[in-house]
Amino acid sequence: MKTKILKSKVTIDMSVNEYDTLFKYIGKLDSMLNTLHETNDLWLSDVHNLSSLKWELIEMLDAEWNADTYRYVKRGNKWGLKDMYWL
């Protein structure tokens, strides 16, 4: 997966396999939300799936961890408050 960041747009190149993986996580998120709504409980496998999804998104968006602010930020943007993300 490659992320190209330009001034006016962001392009994410991914393989068909990576694209299919993201769709797999849509199904897993749907299943997790159904479990939460029905049982008010979260299974350990759901926590693992959430963690995996987090890392897929970090990789896809080319996010960087900023140790000073304890947040993920856009690559190359270490201090911009408007560009901070919580994952």
Q: What is the pTM of this model?
A: 0.65
Let me know if residue 73 belongs to a domain. Answer: no
Let me know if residue 67 belongs to a domain. Answer: no
Rounded distance, CA 78 to CA 58, Å? 16
Let me know if residue 47 belongs to a domain. Answer: yes
For residue 13, give its domain range.
Answer: 2-62
Let me know if residue 82 belongs to a domain. Answer: no
Give me the amino acid identity at 12. Answer: I
Let me know if residue 32 belongs to a domain. Answer: yes
Name the domain count of the chain: 1
Q: What is the pLDDT along the chain (87 residues), one digit of tens a residue?
A: 788 888 888 888 888 998 888 888 888 889 888 888 888 888 888 889 889 989 888 888 888 888 888 888 887 665 555 555 554
Rounded distance, CA 58 to CA 50, Å? 12
